[in-house]
Every structure is written in C-alpha cells, then in structure tokens.
C-alpha cells in the first residue's frame, strides 16, 4: 500500500512542523503494518543519510511495546538493535528522540527526530506537542490505509465470487483451473504460477496448469518433499520464501525468480495438489498474500474434486454408481470433525437416503467464544442435487468464514450465487446462526428451512423462524436476523425435513412431525447432546418402521453447558 499524494504532503508538512518547532536537524515519519510486517508508508525524509530499509520489524514492534514514549537515544553513532538501521550518520555528538503510537490493532506510527547536538530540547510540553503531531499523522495515514484495505478486500471478494460462479456452472477441470490461475493475477500479482496435482502412484506433484514459465521447459514434476511445492505437499502447510537464493529447497525453473509462495490444495485433511506462485522481486509475498492464495486454492480444490467425481460418474452410467458418486460429493463437502468451543457441546447425525439428495450442514469455530452452525437442504435428488449442494457450500464458505458478517448477509450472498448459477427449479432452504458466549446471544437467519427448536432448561420451547424465503429462487431477496439469549442448559436442535416429514409405514398421512419432535425434546433436554441425539433418532426409527429411508436426515444438537 502506498499513501495518496495528499497524505504524503500532509505527513511531510508535519515533519517540517516538527523541525521548525523543535529546532531538530531532521526527522522521519513512517507507519508499520503489524500483519504484513512491512513499512507501508514512509514520508520523504529530511535526512539524506538516513535509511530504514532492512529493519527487523518483528523485533522492533516487540521492543517498542516495552518502551516508554518518548524515548531518548543518547548516541546516534552506536545505535543497537533494533534501531541499528535508523540512522547511518557518524556524528556521535547528536542524539535522537523516538515517538511512537500503536494506532489500532494493525498499524503503528513512528516519528524519529534527530537533534543538532547532544542537548535535548524535546522535553515537557514540547515533547507532548511532537507526540500529538505524530498521533495525528498516524490517524490520518491509517485511515487511508484502512480504506485501501477495504477496497482491496472488496476487489478480492469480487474475484472469488466470479470464480465461484464459474466453478458452480462448469465441470470442465481445465476451464476452471485456467480461470482460477488467471483471476489470481489481479489479486496477488505473480510472474509465474502453477497448479500442480498429486499423483498418488508416483508420489509426485505434476504440473496441470501453468503461467509464465519458459516455453521450452519440460513438464514440471517434483517428488513429494522436493522443491518448495513438494515441501508444501509433504507438510500440508503454506510456505513463503522471501529469497529463493538462500533456501535450500528451491528448484530453479526460471532464473528471474527471487521469491516464491506455495499453498497445498486440500480436500478435507488430504493434500491433492499445490498452488505455487513466483515473483521476480525479493520478499514479494506476506501473510495477506498467503490468505488470498489459500482462498483461491480452496476454490481450485473444490473444482478438482467436483470434476474428478463427475468424470468418474460419467464413465460409469449405472444408477447405483451415479448415486455413490453423488454421495461422495456430499461427504467431501461436509465437516469431518466437530470444532471445540469451550462451554458449547455438539452432536451430529447425518444419514443420506438411498436416493442421494442434498442435505448440507457446517460448524465453524470463530474463537473460543463463538460457534457458527448451519444446516440446509437443496431440492431434488442424485447428481443435480449434489452439485447444487456444492454451489451452496462454495458460496456459503466464502462469506461465512468472516465472523463480522451477520447471518442475513451471508444468506443474502448465497441467494444471489444460487440464483445466478442454478436453474429456477434448483433452490435450497438454509439456516445459519452464530452462538456467542461473550454476550450470551445466538444471532440467526432462517431462509425457508424447517425452524430449529430451542429448549430452555425449564422445558420452554422457542421456535427460530425469523429470516426470509428460500435461497436461490428470487434475485435480490431480503433476509432478517433473529436474536435470542442463550442461557445455561439451553439445547438447540437443527434438522432437515427428512426427520419430520417421513410418514409411518402404518399410515402414510401421519408424519413424525414437529409436534412429536418438540415432545421428545422436552423428555430428554437435560441430557448430554450425544444422548439427546441418540434418543431422538431412536424414537424416529421406531416410528417410521423398517421401510427404506426416502430422504436425507440430518440432526444437530447444540447445548450451552456453562
């Protein structure tokens, strides 16, 4: 990020004011990004011999956090770490004064003042005034940087949104991977990039889609553990290499490359490939870059899994195999583990029918105090329903992972994506809520889904039906949020219609129904979530009899324990 001309002019003016006011020889103002660990704004310096390149940012921030402000530096000739890059002069008769401010959780502003002699004129009110000027400059530049970050975030989300739409609309793997690697360029610039897939037979990562490598280069194949990409495949972790020349793992495919980043492509916990980018600049990638590349890698993983499963289904046209593949698509998209949030316990039951439908559920841990829970059901059966569920999963995960977004906002986004990428007869019901133990609330939005039930410790039942219409059928549909307070012992059950609409084998007109579910919940709500789940499913099974299950059944039990 680079500050606009107006911010630079004002910051320079503040430097000049500091010089005129203090009688100092020179000063320099700059801002550090504590996330990217970079100097993201540096105003023109009045000290020609001064440089702040090469500073140990991590060390400087930890050091500053422990120091009082302002900080007097007695001899500029013998600056010690982490200030050794602040001043390159050799006149030991001068001293410096350092002013700093942690503007917000991300940015820190610093004003370094060089005095003309060893006499310190910045004391008392003068020091307070310079600190105030430093603070004002920090607030101004930080406001600009935050606006820039917000603008970048919108641009990145739009790019991911476009990729998500294409993934949902196409099962051509080459088409989708080319789209992803090209869309990434506008978000995380690179000079060369490649998407590599894991070959389980040869234990290698094999080039699938590449950009920027020499035309005469042979196919790029790396053994697992070899090179930066092979290391990412082996560890399942992202790797950022600021300087490839000093990293023993680097395998050269283009001499211009100075820095590199690789992130694994994951299907659940399994590595299926690697997304790798290279840059002709040193230190080109940071944690923000990693987050964005991981988001694109997630999209690529979904495309790869969808295309692989679809190709497998296309090779085997029997109905039985089609349903097995559809079930596999569902299972790869559903969570494998229940996240741990102290104070909240969860139990899940999910059973697909013989004719695969599109039940969807997810559990997201935002922190030790917050748990997101979602459940949905797409219309139809078989491969079409499973693919619609994949679209629902992709769009939901893109926004739901940001805790700052209200459930109604996330569902509104899902609605727009489903409307764009599916036909009019393809839609879904969806419920999404966030439990927050910090303020004891549960904020939720219900988009046409069978309403979850909240059972108080007293046995009182609260029906959670605030929200809006089904998702995917109407463009620009609006949704509302509901809010309830969570009390100790409260039990929340979420379910799909397969649980309440299945009729008894003795009488087709008589379903298990919501009333029977409420009654059963009151009988067992004091138990643990696992026992509650087992009790409800046992009653349901005994009610419907031994006939084949006609629809997917999903049940989630959430209980506030403390």
Q: What DSSP string describes 410-448?
A: HHHHHHHHHHHHS-TT--EEEEEEEEETTTTEEEEEEES
Inside any domain, residue 249: yes
- 163 closest CA partner among 289, 292, 278: 292
Inside any domain, residue 157: no
pLDDT at residue 344 in the model: 94
Rg (CA), the chain: 29
**Pick from 17-26, 123-132, 350-359: least confident:** 350-359
The answer to whether 52 and 67 are in contact (CB under 8 A) is: no
pLDDT at residue 168 in the model: 62
Q: Judge if 294 and 340 occupy the same domain.
A: no
Inside any domain, residue 114: yes
**Pick from 46-55, 74-83, 450-459: least confident:** 46-55
The answer to whether 477 and 428 are in contact (CB under 8 A) is: no
Written as six digits, the tokens of 321 are 């195999």
The domain spanning residue 27 has which CATH number?
Answer: 3.30.450.40
pLDDT at residue 432 in the model: 96
The answer to whether 39 and 57 are in contact (CB under 8 A) is: yes
In the predicted structure, residue 47 carries a pLDDT above the cut 50: no
| Boundary (domain end) residue, out of 97, 116, 148 | 148
Q: Per residue, what are the HEC states of 445-471?
A: EEECCCCCEEECCCCCEEECCCEECCE
Q: Judge if 530 and 440 occupy the same domain.
A: yes
Inside any domain, residue 316: no
The domain spanning residue 537 has which CATH number?
Answer: 3.60.40.10
Inside any domain, residue 455: yes
Eight-state DSSP code of residue 46: S
In the predicted structure, residue 113 carries a pLDDT above the cut 90: no
Eight-state DSSP code of residue 244: G
Average pLDDT, the chain: 80
DSSP three-state, residue 474? coil
Q: Judge if 456 and 368 occupy the same domain.
A: yes
Written as six digits, the tokens of 444 are 């939720």
In the predicted structure, residue 462 carries a pLDDT above the cut 80: yes
pLDDT digits (tens, 9 = 90+) for 304-337: 777 777 766 666 555 555 556 666 666 666 777 8
**Pick from 257-271, 456-470, 508-522: least confident:** 508-522
336 φψ region: left (φ > 0), alpha (ψ -120 to 50), beta (else): alpha
Structure-model confidence comparison of residues 437 and 219, the more confident one: 437
Out of 156-170, 174-188, 497-511, give the one with best mean pLDDT: 174-188
- Mean pLDDT value of segment 464-471: 93
Inside any domain, residue 323: no
**How many domains would you assign to the chain?**
3
Inside any domain, residue 410: yes
Q: Judge if 450 and 353 occupy the same domain.
A: yes
Q: What percent of the chain has pLDDT over 70?
A: 77
pLDDT at residue 1 in the model: 47
- 19 closest CA partner among 110, 122, 88, 137: 122
Q: Judge if 437 and 534 occupy the same domain.
A: yes
Inside any domain, residue 164: no
> Strand runs (DSSP E) across 167-310, as ranges?
192-199, 204-211, 221-223, 239-241, 259-267, 270-279
| Boundary (domain end) residue, out of 115, 148, 181 | 148
Q: Which residues contact 443 (CB under 8 A, 6 or more apart)?
A: 406, 407, 433, 434, 436, 481, 482, 483
Q: Give the C-alpha distances (Å, rounded to integers) separating 106 from 38, 142, 213.
A: 11, 9, 36
Q: Judge if 301 and 193 occupy the same domain.
A: yes
- Mean pLDDT value of segment 222-244: 88
Q: Judge if 472 and 416 occupy the same domain.
A: yes
Q: CA 313, CA 304: separation in Å to the nearest integer?
A: 14
Q: Judge if 96 and 188 occupy the same domain.
A: no
Which residue range forms the structural domain that includes residue 89?
Answer: 5-148
Q: Judge if 135 and 190 occupy the same domain.
A: no
Q: Judge if 78 and 211 occupy the same domain.
A: no
Q: Judge if 86 and 194 occupy the same domain.
A: no
Structure-model confidence comparison of residues 240 and 76, the more confident one: 240
The answer to whether 80 and 63 are in contact (CB under 8 A) is: no
Written as six digits, the tokens of 49 are 């011999």
pLDDT at residue 314 in the model: 65
Structure-model confidence comparison of residues 509 and 218, the more confident one: 218
Cβ-based burial of 514 (10 A; exposed 0-12, middle 13-18, buried ≥19): middle
Q: CA 269, CA 274: separation in Å to the nearest integer?
A: 14
Written as six digits, the tokens of 376 are 């949905």
Q: Judge if 282 and 367 occupy the same domain.
A: no
């Amino acid at each position: 990020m680079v500050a606009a001309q107006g911010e630079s002019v004002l910051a320079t003016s503040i430097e000049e004011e500091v010089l005129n006011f203090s009688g100092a020889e020179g000063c320099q103002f700059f801002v550090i990004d504590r996330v990217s660990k970079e100097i993201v704004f540096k105003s023109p310096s009045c000290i020609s011999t001064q440089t702040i390149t090469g500073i140990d940012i991590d060390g400087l921030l930890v050091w500053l956090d422990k120091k009082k402000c302002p900080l007097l530096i007695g001899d500029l000739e013998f600056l010690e770490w982490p200030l050794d890059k602040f001043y390159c002069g050799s006149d030991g008769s001068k001293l410096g004064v350092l002013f700093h401010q942690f503007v917000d959780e991300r940015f820190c502003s610093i004003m370094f003042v060089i005095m003309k002699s060893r006499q310190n004129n910045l004391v008392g009110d003068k020091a307070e005034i310079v600190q105030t000027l430093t603070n004002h400059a920090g607030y101004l530049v930080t406001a600009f940087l935050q606006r820039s970050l917000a603008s970048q975030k919108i641009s990145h989300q739009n790019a991911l949104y476009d990729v998500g739409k294409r993934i949902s609309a196409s099962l051509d793997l080459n088409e989708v991977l080319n789209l992803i690697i090209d869309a990434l360029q506008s978000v995380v610039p690179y000079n060369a990039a490649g998407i590599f897939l894991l070959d389980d037979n040869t234990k290698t990562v094999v080039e699938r889609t590449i950009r920027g490598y020499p035309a005469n280069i042979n196919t790029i194949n790396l053994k697992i553990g070899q090179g930066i990409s092979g290391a990412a495949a082996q560890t399942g972790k992202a790797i950022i290499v600021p300087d490839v020349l000093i990293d023993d793992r680097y395998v050269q495919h283009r001499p211009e490359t100075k820095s590199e980043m690789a992130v694994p492509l994951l299907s659940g916990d399994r590595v299926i490939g690697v997304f790798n980018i290279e840059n002709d600049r040193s230190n080109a990638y940071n944690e923000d870059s990693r987050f964005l590349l991981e988001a694109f890698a997630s999209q690529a993983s979904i495309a790869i899994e969808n295309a692989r499963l679809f190709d497998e289904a296309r090779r085997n046209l029997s109905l039985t195999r089609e349903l097995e593949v559809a079930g596999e698509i569902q299972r790869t998209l559903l969570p494998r583990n229940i996240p741990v949030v102290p104070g909240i316990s969860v139990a899940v039951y999910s059973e697909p029918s013989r004719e695969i439908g599109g039940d969807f559920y997810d559990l997201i841990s935002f922190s030790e105090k917050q748990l997101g829970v979602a459940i949905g059901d797409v219309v139809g059966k078989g491969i079409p329903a499973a693919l619609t569920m994949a679209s629902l999963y992709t769009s939901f995960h893109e926004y739901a992972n940001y805790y700052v977004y209200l459930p109604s906002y996330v569902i509104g986004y899902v609605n727009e994506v489903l409307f764009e990428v599916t036909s009019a007869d393809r839609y879904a019901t969806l419920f999404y809520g966030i439990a927050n133990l910090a303020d004891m609330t549960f904020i939720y939005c219900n988009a046409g889904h069978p309403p979850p039930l909240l059972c108080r410790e007293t046995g009182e039942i609260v029906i959670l039906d605030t929200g809006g219409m089904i998702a995917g059928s109407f463009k620009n549909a609006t949704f509302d949020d509901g809010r309830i307070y969570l009390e100790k012992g409260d039990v929340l059950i979420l379910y799909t219609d397969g649980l309440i609409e299945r009729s008894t084998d003795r009488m087709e007109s008589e379903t298990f129904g919501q009333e029977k579910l409420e009654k059963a919940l009151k009988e067992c709500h004091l138990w643990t979530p696992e026992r509650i789940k087992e009790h409800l499913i046992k009653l349901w099974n005994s009610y419907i009899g031994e006939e084949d299950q006609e629809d997917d059944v999903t049940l989630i039990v959430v209980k506030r324990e403390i």
